[in-house]
Amino acid sequence: MMNEIISPVQIKVEPVESSRIHEVDFENLVFGEKFSDHMFVMEYEDGSWKEPVIKPYGQIQISPALNTLHYGQAIFEGMKAFYKDENTINIFRPDVHHERLNNTARRMIIPETDYDTFITALEELLKLDYKWVPKKPGTALYIRPLIFASADLLAARSSDKFSYYIITSPVGAYYAEGFNPVKLTTTHEYVRAVEGGTGEAKTAGNYAASFLPARKAAQEGYTQVLWLDAKEHKYVEEVGTMNIHFLIGNTLVTPGLFGSILPGVTRRSVITLAKEWGYNVEERRISIDEVFDAHEKGELKEVFGSGTAAVISPVGLIHHKGKTIHIGDDKIGPVAKKLFDSITDIQYGRKEDTYGWVHSVKV
Ligand SMILES: Cc1ncc(COP(=O)(O)O)c(C=O)c1O
C-alpha cells in the first residue's frame, strides 16, 4: 500500500535482492541479535549531511584509525515500533527520541540531524521491512539510530566526518512468563555520571564504563546497579538502562533531571500519566536514606523502573550498605501494572492515543 504522508525528503532506496527473514525464528527472539533487511545511511562531510540512502543491511568497512574506536565520539537512540494491524505500524514518540538525539549530538559536538529526514527514513524502513515487525503480544521492532565519528584520525579531537545509521531489530516480549521484579544494589566503588559530564547524553562511553560495576553486581546476585550521585553517594539517580520511580504514600517521586541522568522517554510518559491519574508527582532529589526510611515506616508502596526495553520493570529488592529492603512481595504493584497496561495499550493501538505519542505508518 502507498504511504499517505507526502514526504519532503527524498531518500534513495536500494532494496535487497532477497530477504533474510526466513533466517529468523520469530518464536524465540533474543534482544538485538537479528537485523532487518534494510538500513538507513547518511554521511557528514565538508560541513553538511549528504544524500541519504536506504540499502541492504550489511557489514561496513572501517579503518583501525577510525576516530570513534579510540575516543568514543558516538551517540545513539533506542526506540520501538509496534504491530497494530496488517496495514499499520506504530512508532512510539519518535519526535521525543529525535529531540534527545540532537541534545546528545550537541553535547558530543556531533552535527545535529533534521526531523524530516529521521521520520521519513523510519517510514521508508518500516514500509520496506514491515514483515520484520513481530506480531505476538509484547514483541516489537527495536529501532537503533546511531551517529559516530568516521574520520581516520588519531589526534584526540573531534572528527569532522560522521556516519549516521538507522538499523532495526525484531525483539521478543520482555516478560515471557510474567513480570520478574529486579534486584538492585547500590555501589560505593563506582559512579555512573556527574553533573557537567555526559550522563544526560546517550553516548557510548557511559555504557562501556558501567559494564564492570554491572558485572560485579550480577556476580553478587543483583540484576543491576542502582546508581547514586557521584558527589555524595547519597541521592538516587537511575539504573543501567532505565529511570527509577518510588511510590511513597500517594506521591510518585522520580529523581529530577540535573544533568547526570538520562531523560527517559518512558519516564516522561509515566510522569504524564501519573499526574493525570491524580497522584502527587515530584521530580526532585531523593536520597537512598529517604527510600529506606519510607520502607521502615510502611510508606514505600512501589518501586519500578521505566525504559523502552521493558516499559515498566518492578523492583523487588534494594540492597544498600549491607541492608536489604524487599518491596511488594516479589510481584508487580497496581500502579506499575496500570502504567504498563496504559503505555502498551497506546503503543499497540489497543486504546486511543489522546496524547499524540504514536506516529502511525501505513504499510
Ligand atoms: C541510562 C539509561 N537510563 C534510562 C533509560 C530509559 O530511557 P527510555 O525510556 O527513553 O528508553 C535508558 C534507555 O534508553 C538508559 O540507557
* pLDDT on residue 9: 87
* pLDDT on residue 229: 98
Beta strand ranges found along the chain (DSSP E): 12-13, 38-45, 48-49, 53-56, 74-76, 79-85, 88-92, 140-149, 162-171, 182-185, 224-228, 236-239, 243-248, 251-255, 280-284, 300-307, 311-320, 323-326, 358-362
* pLDDT on residue 215: 97
**How many angstroms does the Cα of residue 305 sit away from the middle of ligand 1?**
10
Closest CA to 266 of 134, 96, 44: 96
Query: pLDDT by residue (tens digit) across 321-343?
Result: 999 999 998 899 999 999 999 99
Query: pLDDT by residue (tens digit) across 114-158?
Result: 999 999 999 999 999 999 999 999 999 999 999 999 999 999 999
Beta carbons within 8 Å of 205's beta carbon, 6+ residues apart:
72, 198
Domain-by-domain residue ranges, the chain? 12-173, 182-347
Q: Is any ligand 1 atom within 6 A of the Cβ of residue 266?
A: yes
To the question of domain 182-347 being in CATH 3.80.30.20, the answer is no
CA angle 270, 300, 219 (to 5 degrees): 85
Residue 173's pLDDT band, with cuts at 50, 70 and 90, is confident
Residue type, 363: V
Q: What is the mean pLDDT of residues 96-105?
A: 98
Q: What is the mean pLDDT of residues 19-36?
A: 95
Q: What is the mean pLDDT of the chain?
A: 95
Query: pLDDT by residue (tens digit) across 1-26?
Result: 444 444 568 999 999 999 999 999 99
Residue 174's pLDDT band, with cuts at 50, 70 and 90, is confident
* pLDDT on residue 4: 44
Q: Is any ligand 1 atom within 6 A of the Cβ of residue 242?
A: yes
* pLDDT on residue 8: 63
Which numbered atom of ligand 1 lies nearest the CA of 238?
Answer: 3
Which numbered atom of ligand 1 lies nearest the CA of 202?
Answer: 16
| Sole residue written with cell 579503518 | 63
**How many angstroms does the Cα of residue 262 sit away from the middle of ligand 1?**
6
Q: Is any ligand 1 atom within 6 A of the Cβ of residue 243?
A: yes
* pLDDT on residue 271: 98
* pLDDT on residue 2: 42
Q: Is any ligand 1 atom within 6 A of the Cβ of residue 264?
A: yes
Contact in structure between 172 and 108 (CB atoms under 8 Å): no
Residue 47's pLDDT band, with cuts at 50, 70 and 90, is very high
Does the pLDDT at position 177 exceed 70? no
Strand (E) or helix (H) holding 100: helix 94-107
Instruction: For a ligand 1 pocket test, name from 241, 311, 313 the mutation site with the most ligand atoms within 8 angstroms of its C-beta.
Output: 241
Which numbered atom of ligand 1 lies nearest the CA of 266?
Answer: 9
This prediction's pTM: 0.96
Q: Is any ligand 1 atom within 6 A of the Cβ of residue 359?
A: no
Report the topology of domain 12-173.
Answer: D-amino Acid Aminotransferase; Chain A, domain 1 (3.30.470)
Q: Is any ligand 1 atom within 6 A of the Cβ of residue 313?
A: no
**How many angstroms does the Cα of residue 67 sit away from the middle of ligand 1?**
26
Q: What is the mean pLDDT of residues 42-68?
A: 97
* pLDDT on residue 179: 87
Residues recorded for the chain: 363
